[in-house]
Structure 1
């Protein structure tokens, strides 16, 4: 326990096993070896990857020069009347800055979507005052590349020199660095290449957009620096070791789900960031921890003491929590990175790779390269909802959306979960997130909710590589407007649907998938809520 970062184990039925794991981790010097970049901790098969993924432990020191660089660029931009920051990035490149700026209370427009309406909303802002930060390790991320192309054209159409308004964050030597310098973009920030995307909160990927938006990124590094002294210690009081041991012991007894709820931490959106870190790091080889981000205490999945779940309060402990974690944002970033890396050793997996993420990308690309000549017909249509089940799990006499949903819930294993995946506009269609608690109440199963395609860079790895006990509800919707992607043979709506269908194909090879396509999003949501609430569901 420390004033900088603290973990309180409120209750655990496996305390003896937790103590044993803590003792083993301390005796093996795991925390200190991580801080020393020891790549052998996760076994021979993981060593080559681990050797180039451990620099996150010292970012509180190595990222220091960035602070002045970011502040200088911000001052330059403000002197030119440019004070609106848009971020194009996926996964860790968007989730960490969103948490940092949300917690700091400074505005940042985050684009981690291919929904044309949400991108159009970002374009509708004052482009004369706008700078876009394009964050990608290689530059090949299709969503981010599309955003860059769309904004470059929009700037030019508005009479703005596009190159002067595009700031890049990428890895040194990447194709994106070469392209950005060739095109004369305003500034290219090079991130530490020995840090994976989901561990990159304190690299240029997290700090550049956040600092340009007005967050105090120097203070964030200070917080992490204080926590580093505690988290690198081979001590039973190390909060990261305590967390990893608690999760490892719980997982050994079948509790593979970790429910996160904010209980007054003051940190905005932290569960979405930690969800990506844990799911993508541990969900592989048929094992892992599935994070379930909920809206707060008092909702199903958090107050229920379930044998397959560990409940974590981000903030003060509550009566329903198993674990409570308190600390500043910089300290929390580093704590969960250490804890996730350590629990990878406990579970016997490599916490730095993501072997199943690429499958959905390849499937989407295949659909873009060779689109179907004729669209697939829905099994049936009810009002504004078209129903597309995978495989043959749905009973043949199913005629209503309500019955299709009941059937999906029914094929989930007793201790399985439901994943709701909405390929929609997370601003205008934000109320779709209400489906998560409603489905949880009706199904009595842990239920996750992800906005597509951003969850593909997060829980998408777990759904395909983790415990195979999920069922999947995809929601797609017709777009009233669309956006061309310059110099590409597809529009955003075509790309968005291809991403949904591609991931659906990969998921359906493993588990049941039900896609509901809404020809009218507003009316479709009303019908879905009614169908979920129908008696007996």
Structure 2
């Protein structure tokens, strides 16, 4: 892994276009003002929100007192034979710890799903060795609260006092803090409230679960501190200013998508973390940068990126990458946070709010309040193990197969639009979904994103509603073999998962976006049939 955080704008034309922006940003002392937490950088409309969201710039210093607490708690847990850490968290509460622990090579079970099968898999581990870390900034995240209730019951049923096994990370004054202290849970960590979730990698939300799992979080802060010294300087060699300027210049010429491929960075899963940071920070007011995470540099979307996309290598530069970013993980966190905040200034938006995230949550709650998670939906057609549900009037008479429905749906995508694939499934067991993104991208020529539901709702979900309105949305849901009750709640996990898919689909459809939902009545068979239908798209085109 690289030891110095750096940016290389490999595209000569892009470097030339970015240079004046870099010089202007340096002349305006933007980096120094950002490091000093100047809330005026994004204009008067954003100043109120920015004034309570900028403490992330100095977390490499302010988070250090946490290190001793984490070390002491980990030693205490290990002395009791407790070495299996399960993290219940969504969005910023889970993405950074997953990257940190995967990169460090230490085990962490991450629950950022409402799929009963995936939650049951986490429950099937050795509960005698298990500690549950419950992470929620607001303290009201429905998925995380459901996980806590389910694990609390499981601990009790196995003769374990749950208060000895639950650790909470939340904002001070949140409903979760007061409930956790009242319940007497083993430990309550409160994070800096002046840091938004997607900028929270170096707060307690990122450090506590990662440190308890065995990652060297002190080194993470050291690497961030070293990067800060470069990123806070007001000169044209500042990597964050260079990166922000390149993204801003590319966007100004129509490159509204940023395609990420790892080129040997040594960082595992960085694209998933940076996806949320960029999408939620910039995707609003009808503009923004859409992150597209691809499998490798040969994958469709990277190797054949069009004029609407900028390609970024996470790691050493390679042919086809317009930009490469390198550095240790702590430095890369800070580099992209600085660059994203500065890019917000160039795009003329507030990079710290997320005005469109709540819509899908409200729609899901409305469905949950109805009987059995809402009314049963009648499919437009059934093909084998797949039910086809469509919003809008694009599904015409005569369409009788999944492949034909896909073809009609994809025809609604505008030029330089994008396809979002959203799988409300088990991301551990439903592995064949991995081929869908590259297969669809290859056959459609569209930039194609893939998100696990409901995880993506806390990530790219903001962009889908607030960013460039040129996306089409393919939802994949599946029948549940064994559901899980959520104790003291009037819904099950399967009901919650269904409500989240239908609720988000409804919000997208209400905004005029095409939505196709494919429901797998048999998950294993349905996924095989779906992959075949995607592969049949080319033959349908050939017959047209």
The TM-score bracket by the shorter chain reads: over 0.9
Offset of residue 24 of structure 1: 1.3
For residue 181 of structure 1, give the secondary structure of its aligned residue in structure 2.
helix
CA deviation vs aligned residue, 1:408-437 (integer Å, no higher than 9, x gap): 211101100000000000000122121000
8 A contact 2:93–2:137 mirrored in 1: no
CA offsets 1:169-198 (integer angstroms, 9 cap, x no match):
001111111000000000000100000000
Counterpart of 1:517 in structure 2 is 519
Deviation by residue 1:412-463 (Cα, 9 ceiling, x = unmatched)? 0110000000000000012212100000000011000000000000000001
| C-alpha deviation, 1:23, in angstroms | 1.4
SS class of match (1:389):
strand
TM, length-normalised to structure 2: 0.97
2:450 aligns to what SS in structure 1?
Answer: strand
Matched with 1:99 is 99
The answer to whether the 8 Å contact 2:261/2:302 transfers is yes
**Alignment-derived partner of residue 490 in structure 2:** 489
Report the Cα offset of residue 536 of structure 1: 3.4
1:236-251 paired onto structure 2 within 5 Å: 236-251=236-251
Indicate the residue corresponding to 2:40 in structure 1: 40
Distance, in Å, in 2 between the alignment partners of 1:169 and 1:215 is: 17
Residue aligning to 2:139: 139
Cα separation, 2, equivalents of 1:417 and 1:287: 14
Structure 2 counterpart SS, 1:107: coil
Separation in structure 2 between the aligned mates of residue 369 and residue 263 of structure 1, nearest angstrom: 46
1:105-128 C-alpha deviation (Å, 9 max, x unpaired): 000000000000000000000101
Q: What is the aligned partner in structure 2 of residue 52 from structure 1?
A: 52
Matches within 5 A, 1:353-364: 353-364=353-364
Give the drift of 1:394: 1.8
Pairs within 5 Å for 1:200-239 = 200-239=200-239
Give 1:530's aligned residue: 532
Relative to structure 1, is the Cα distance of residues 352 and 504 closer, same or farther in structure 2, using a 3 angstrom cutoff?
same
How far apart are residue 517 of structure 1 and its match?
0.3
Aligned counterpart, 2:505:
504
SS at match of 2:40: helix
C-alpha distance in 1 between matches for 2:319 and 2:500 = 41
1:78 and 2:78 matched: yes
Partner of 1:321: 321
Query: How many angstroms does 1:19 deviate by?
Result: 1.2
User: Aligned to 1:53, what secondary structure does the other structure show?
Assistant: coil
Q: In structure 1, what is the Cα distance between the partners aligned to 2:430 and 2:447?
A: 22
Q: Residue in 2 aligned with 1:302?
A: 302
User: In structure 2, how many angstroms separate the alpha carbons of the residues matched to 1:90 and 1:249?
Assistant: 32
CA distance in 1, matches of 2:16, 2:227: 27
Kindly indicate whether the alpha-carbon contact (under 8 Å) linking 2:419 and 2:474 is maintained by their aligned counterparts in 1.
Answer: yes
Cα deviation for residue 374 of structure 1 reads: 4.4
Q: Does the 8 Å CA contact 2:3/2:328 hold for their aligned counterparts?
A: no
1:397 to partner: Cα distance: 2.1
**Equivalent residue for 2:411?**
410
TM-aligned CA deviation for residue 14 of structure 1:
3.8
Aligned-residue offset at 1:291: 0.3
Name the SS of the counterpart of 1:474 in structure 2. Answer: strand
Deviation at residue 3 of structure 1 after TM alignment: 5.7
Count of aligned pairs: 536
Cα distance in structure 2, aligned partners of 1:186 and 1:32: 40
What is the CA RMSD across the aligned residues, in angstroms? Answer: 1.0
Matched with 2:463 is 462
> In 1, distance between residues paired with 2:157 and 2:344?
49
Separation (CA, whole Å) in 1 of partners of 2:233 and 2:339:
13
Distance 1:119 1:428 in 2: 11
The superposition leaves residues 485-510 of structure 1 with CA deviations (integer Å, 9 ceiling, x where unpaired) of: 00000000000000000000001122
Rounded Cα–Cα distance in structure 1 between residues aligned with 2:318 and 2:514 = 35
Q: Distance in 1 between matches of 2:51 and 2:336?
A: 20
Distance 2:265 2:498 in 1: 37
Gaps in structure 2 of 5+ consecutive residues: none
The question of whether the paired residues in 1 share the 8 Å contact of 2:479 and 2:520 is answered with yes
Q: 2:420·2:473 contact (CA, 8 Å) conserved in 1?
A: yes
The within-5 A match list for 1:334-483 is 334-371=334-371, 374-483=375-484
Deviation readout 1:243-284 (Å, 9 max, x if unpaired): 110010110111000000000001000000000000010000
- Residue 139 of structure 1 aligns to a residue whose secondary structure is coil
- Report the more deviating stretch, 356-365 or 519-528: 519-528
Question: What secondary structure is seen at the aligned counterpart in 1 of 2:540?
Answer: coil
CA contact (8 A) 2:85 2:213 kept: yes
Q: Distance in 2 between matches of 1:149 and 1:267?
A: 33
Instruction: Work out whether residues 88 and 135 of structure 2, in 8 Å CA contact, stay in contact via their aligned partners in 1.
Output: yes
**1:216-267 CA distances to partner (integer Å, 9 max, x unpaired)?**
0000000000000000111111111001100101101110000000000010
Instruction: Give me the TM-score of the superposition, normalised by structure 1.
Output: 0.99
CA contact (8 A) 2:437 2:450 kept: yes
Residues in 1 aligned to 2:102 and 2:321: alpha-carbon distance in whole angstroms: 25
Query: Post-superposition shift, 1:393?
Result: 1.8
1:18-72 Cα shifts (integer Å, max 9, x gaps): 1111111111111100111100111111111000000000000000010110010
- What residue ranges of structure 1 are gaps of 5+ in the alignment? none
